[in-house]
Structure formats: C-alpha cells, structure tokens
Amino acid sequence: MHTFVTILAGGAGTRFWPAGRRARPKQLLPFTSARSMLAETLARCAPLAPPDRTYVVTNRIQLDATRRECPSLPAEHVLGEPEMRNTAAAIGLAALHVARRDPDGVMVVLPADHFIDPPERFLSCFRAAVRRAAEKPVLLTVGIRPTGPATGYGYIEAGDEAKKIGDHPFLAVKSFKEKPSAATAAAFLAKGNYFWNAGTFVWHVRALLDAFRAHLPGHAEVLARIDASLAKGEPPRPEDYARFENIPIDMGIMERAANVETTPADFLWDDVGSWLAVDRLNRKDGDGNVVRGLHAGIETHNCIVFGSDDHIVATLGVDDLIVVHTPDATLICPKSRAEEVRQIVKQLEQRGLERFL
C-alpha cells in the first residue's frame, strides 16, 4: 500500500480579481507567503508522498501555468481536464491514475488554495487518516472545528467515535448540512459536534471507485471510458468528459454513502476565500496595512495594497480599502465589500470584456 496525494487546482478564483484571472487563479498566486498557494500545498504534502505519487488536477486553460508551478512533478502528473465538471469528475480522473499505479493505494485529496499551519499537526492528522483508510474501506473527511457561526461553509454532523489513532479520533458522520442561516449556524456551534466541511478527503482508491459505482453510476460509466483511453496511452476524450454530471464529490458521494467518517483537524485552517484572508494571514505594518509590492502611503490605515515591485501605488488619507493594481486592471473597494468583487467579474462578462478576465 502506497499513499498518493491529489491536489485540486482548477478553481476560477473570481473573488481575487484582478490579481486572479481565468488563466492564473488564486492558487497560482502568492497570497500567504512568497510562494504561490499551490507551491505551499505541494511543500506541505511532500512528506506524505513523493513527486511520482503526487497528482495535480487542473483544467486545460490553466495547464501550462500550473505545470510551471510544479517543477518537481513529472509533467504527466499535472492532469488537465478537457473542461471543468466539478470535483467528482476531477477526483475520479485522479483515482484512475492512482488505481493504475497501485490498486491498493490510499488517496489524500485536498484543495490547492487553503492556508494550514503548523505543518506538523497537518501531517499527524493526515497520516492517521491514511492508516484508518488502509485498515477499513471508509470515506474520510477532515473536519474543521468552527471558530464562529459561519454561514459560508457546509457542515459535517459527527456522531460516535469509531476509532482513535494516536490523539486523532475518527467519528461516524451522521449527515452533511448545506450552508446554514445565521441562526442555524449558531445552533450548530452550540451543539459542539458540527464541523466545517473543508473539502479534504482520504480513502482507499478501491473504496472510492466502489462509491462511484454505487452512488454516481453515470460517473462510473464515464470513468470506464476514460480508463480505456488511458490504457491506450491517450488522454481523456473531450466528448467523454462532457458526459460527466456537474456535481461536487460532497453531494454526489459523501452525502449518500453510509461508510463516512470524519476526524477533527487540530491545525489552523483558512480557505482564503476573499481579499479579507490576505488581511488575516499576513503581517501588517505599523498602520495596520498589508502591503505587497511598492507602496507609498500617507495617513493610510488598515488597507490591503497588492501590486508589484515595478509600479508604485500611492495612497493618501484612506482607511479600510482594498487596492489591487495589475498591468491592465486596478481594483479599489472598501474591505467590507470584499465578497462582492465577483460581481465585477460578472459585469465584465456581460459587457464582453473577456480580455480582462
């Protein structure tokens, strides 16, 4: 049995416009360190699996840029989907590659664009999950302990403890809940057995493929077609890939399966979902500003300034702003409206300004 890592790196990242674009979304950008988020994820996962057992799934638009961010991986281990068909399709594609390498392999699946610290606790948690998946055909998810009544995440309702490995308990999953109202989120927090669903998974590859056949038979049929192409050394055919239902793995399999467990994470986690995460996760100057690139500021407080080293951004008498400069676009908005940046992307699409996306 070998451990394989699959990193999902095909997101659009519209809430990080204009730094994030279709061809270069947030996982390819350095928001939490000097390295891109994908590079940080690869480094964090390196102790779990070597490069020849690590796969990155992206899409054809981002394929070349993603491969440049993964110089340690064999080029063929950066998989380019013909089109984006959500996480069930992406994970299924990676599972075929893993099963061809090792039918007894255990897969660790996680997004490319999350912040996690410290790495030692991350590794301890996922190593325990790999052991659990190797000993029993369960579908595991790592739950995040809520720090507040957040309405932007799905929740995992945990039940009784099924196993403990080291200091990591594995709890039966009673249900998955979609993004709740504020009152429901507060009730979840008070109960204490609800965790945020971070979209991170561990399973034996056979258990996953069995779950596709049981719960997403349409996907299983498409995967059989793609596997036949891989057997001939050919990439997935676009006409086959287009047959996938556009559905996330959570809804397609995890919410339907009975053999699901969760283990609570004991590390710091952030999904880096908007520009406000850049404010949370980076060191601030004496005026409370987070600055990337050249900046000259007078009476500038609690701002996010994101630019480059060959263009200076100057601010005067401003507070609580997001200022992002790129060679062809500039964003200025209040920090309180960071979640609405995606509305600008929609307007650009409606106006036919595709070159700025």
DSSP assignments along 100-156, one per residue: HH-TT-EEEEEESS-EEE-HHHHHHHHHHHHHHHHHS--EEEEEE--SS--SSS-EE
Tokens of residue 128, six digits: 């325990």
How much of the chain, in percent, has pLDDT values that exceed 70? 100
CB 142, CB 232: distance < 8 Å: no
DSSP string, 198-264: EEEEEEEHHHHHHHHHHH-HHHHHHHHHHHHHHHTT-PPPHHHHTTS----HIIIIITT-SSEEEEE
CA distance 32 to 34: 7
The arithmetic mean of pLDDT across residues 259-267, rounded, is: 97
Q: Is the whole-model pTM more than 0.75? A: yes
Domain spans in the chain, listed from the N-terminal domain onward: 3-270, 275-356
CB 35, CB 113: distance < 8 Å: no
What is the pLDDT, as a whole number, of residue 11?
Answer: 79
CA distance 290 to 277: 11
Task: For the chain, state the CA radius of gyration.
Answer: 21
CB 341, CB 333: distance < 8 Å: yes
Class of the CATH domain delimited by 3-270: alpha beta
Identity of the amino acid at 255: E
Tokens of residue 342, six digits: 């995606």
DSSP string, 292-335: ESEEEEEEEES-EEE-BTTBEEEEEEEESEEEEE-SS-EEEEEG
Q: Residue 23 — very low, low, confident or very high, per pLDDT cuts 50/70/90?
A: confident
* pLDDT tens column, 109-148: 999 999 999 999 999 999 999 999 999 999 999 999 999 9
CA distance 253 to 208: 9
Tokens of residue 349, six digits: 């699409």
What is the pLDDT, as a whole number, of residue 255?
Answer: 95
Residues in CB range of 138: below 8 A, 6 or more apart: 132, 170, 203, 207, 259, 260, 261
What is the pLDDT, as a whole number, of residue 14?
Answer: 86
CA distance 319 to 261: 45
* pLDDT tens column, 26-78: 999 999 898 999 999 999 999 999 999 999 999 999 999 999 999 999 999 99
* pLDDT tens column, 283-313: 999 999 999 999 999 999 999 999 999 999 9
C-alpha distances out from residue 48 to 28, 43, 205, Å: 22, 10, 16
Q: Residue 1 — very low, low, confident or very high, per pLDDT cuts 50/70/90?
A: confident
Which is it for strands 106-111 and 194-204: parallel, antiparallel or unpaired?
A: antiparallel
CA distance 127 to 114: 19
* pLDDT tens column, 174-208: 999 999 999 999 999 999 999 999 999 999 999 99
CB 200, CB 189: distance < 8 Å: no
CB 164, CB 170: distance < 8 Å: yes
Q: Is the pLDDT of residue 86 over 90?
A: yes
* pLDDT tens column, 199-257: 999 999 999 999 999 999 999 999 999 999 999 999 999 999 999 999 999 999 999 99
